[in-house]
Structure 1
Amino acid sequence: MELGWALVLTAALVLVTAFFVAAEYSLVRVRETQLAELAERGSTIAALGQRMARRIDEYISATQVGITAANLGLGIVGEPAVFSVIARLFPVDAEAEGLFHAIAFILAFAIVTFVTIVIGELAPKYLALHAPLRLLLLTAAPLFAFTQLVRPFIWAVGGSARLVVRPFGAANRAREATYSEEELRLLVAASARSGVLQESERELLSNVLSFADKVVRQVMVPRTEIVAVEANSTVADVTELAQKHPFTRYPVYREDLDNVIGVVHVRDLVGMSPEQARRTRVTQVMRRVVAVPETMHLDRALAEMRRQRVPLFLVIDEFGGTAGLVTMEDVLEELVGELEDEFDKAAPLIRKQDDGSFLVDGLTSLDDLRERLNVELSDEPYDTVGGLVFGKLGRLARIGDSVEIDGWRAEVTAMDGRRIAQVRVRSAHRQGVPRSQ
């Protein structure tokens, strides 16, 4: 073969290698959702790419066949061609011809290898990693045609490869088209950092991913915070109670909170005359109450609320006693954040102070504390900040008590009876912080 044609063929083989490398990496890198979106718009190339992505093993085998064939061609044609160029550029005497040939051969091998790695391997890989969809749309049709041409050889090679990997449990494994929950979290976080998702979208998606993992115990109003009415109370009593504790619903109990028999809604009391309100017992206007275990997951609780058309559940502990109340608002807030109505207090659960510390309501969930303060709390068997501090102390708390929690110090600043009402949280490394009691 003439030297000129040999050099042209060498360049062509390098480009062929680049084509197959680009096709391989773009096929592996592209997301099927990107192809599906274009296919729905009528792109036939995207539809072809979808088909190829679903049978990725076959097309990856085809690219490997192409890369191997091109590299063999470079060894047969490319290195001798470059060797001939070097020999013509640097003629030597017959005495040094043997040594020169050895040096020229090594140099030719190095040049061909360098060009193949840079142009045939690295450059198309970088392009495929940064623009996989665009490259796949360019390479899909030629790769599909090449695959049909060498299909019998691919079957033979692929079958042999599957026999080799079968002992490792990897035979006939389809392309992973699903992601674990943790992988989805990482994808959401990465999309938010890159600006693809807004912060509100990131927060909503993160809440959705953790929603089914939470149970009603984590979001309920605890028993100690329930404002309820006794079964013998009148509507007038409820009206008076609503002036002090403005809620829309009040549980109705007989004897104690472990025997809740219904719930009264203030909307049902509207329109009653004062005389009628004094004569009417709450048991006459109360609605039914549905009890659920405190271990019920939130997704199931929401589904049950919708199915039974009740906005409130009585939460029962493992001993059959009343643990608390959970409303549809409590459940939905785990998805969309705080929902405030005209009765909600404006004071936030976590308030940053001028000295860098945080005043935290004792009923603040540990999930909220993790998110707001970016605290990496280890797995704790508690749902609230107050419960965590109480557990760390191992006794009834007093104002001024403090405990260390994963590099942060929580100091009790307010009590509500025996319940921890408020704590001050600050970094344990700040100067002047009291030591644990």
Structure 2
Amino acid sequence: MHRIYDLDRFGIVCIEDFNAGAMENKGLTTYNVSCILAHKDSSTDGRFKHVNSVIGHEYFHNWSGNRVTLRDWFEITLKEGFTNLREQLFSEHCYSETVERISEVNFLKSYQFPEDSSPLAHSIRPETIESVDNLYTVTVYEKGAEVIRMMKTILGDELFVKGTDHYFSKFDGKAVTSEDFREALSEASGIDLSQFRVWYEQKGTPSLEVVKNYYCKEKNAYIIVVKQIVPEQDNEKKMPYPIPIKFNLVGVESKKDLVPKSEEILLLKDFEQEFVIKGINENGVLSFLRDFSAPVSVKDFLSKEEILHLFKYDSNLYQKWEAVQRVFRDEIIRAYKSKAKQVTLEEDTKKCLECLVDTVDDYEYLAMALSLPTFQMRIRRVLTEMLEQTLSPGVREIAASCQIKL
């Protein structure tokens, strides 16, 4: 997705009291000083990263927003979601890919998921609005980026770049729609992406349930049955989402990935679907939704022993982080239930943490992996546990304050 800048000069103006982070006017980008200025003696690493990503975002808008623009305001997720993805990929290239992905997922789960489960839930391309300002939401930006990332996952890097090059060439100087974008990707890749319109039309976060997953020794195969639950829609028939699921099987005995990388994507297209993974010669633990390959929630299906197995042996660093976070959340819940004054990690968890520190040399990743789950993630999990026992007014009040729909 490397695109040549078409002007001799990239103009910048900084305003201290600008009421937005930045604005991508053609040839003269406007920035709030907080999004462009940083100093090595007084700014954190996070501040430098933020400046880098904001400048990248506005620069990328030269093509995804300016040279190829929108037919109308309702298509804003095409401009902002696509550019947000380009910004994310740029940051992943500049820094630790896994750390950046974890940061993106943390933000999505902490802010976009609550919006999706609140009265403010809307699709990434709303059909009606009260004012244009209502279109600038985390759903339009963050979920919009995730939807295009899913298409990239299905196509693969090479075909996705081929598709975006075709899109920019075909529509240079024109005003387009999200359908034009998807069709351009399909034309260049030969892969039908038409079902993705569901992501643009339906609201809410779909959830996945692994109904079955087991090893069939007689067939040398691993069977996975996945079901998707679609949130209620406004007077519309619910349609299944296309959901790419990156996965692998971590061998119980070999402790290694059992599925070749070329085959580690399952495409869920129906409400329930069975996948048969052939050529598997030993039992394994299912490493599911690697790299958070779709903006969905997943119902817990692994035992603590299986989670710790992934914690120790999963080759995917995002999945290791996810396993650490799940263990931490469970420990917090255990302490809450027992009314303990402090959380004391169990011995097997301590050993896994020691193993992680000994085998991973990315200190930024380790700092993130060893951090407790965000407050939003902790409070949502605690509330889920509480709701299994009671629906008292106090619980409802807490849930409402956290934008959690009961």
Is TM-score (shorter-chain normalized) higher than 0.5? no
User: What TM-score range do you get, normalising by the shorter chain?
Assistant: under 0.3
TM-score normalised by structure 2 residue count: 0.23
Report the structure number with the largest CA radius of gyration: 1
Which structure is higher in RCO with an 8 Å CA cutoff and minimum separation 6? 2
TM-score normalised by structure 1 residue count: 0.22
Going by fraction, where is helix more abundant, 1 or 2?
Answer: 1
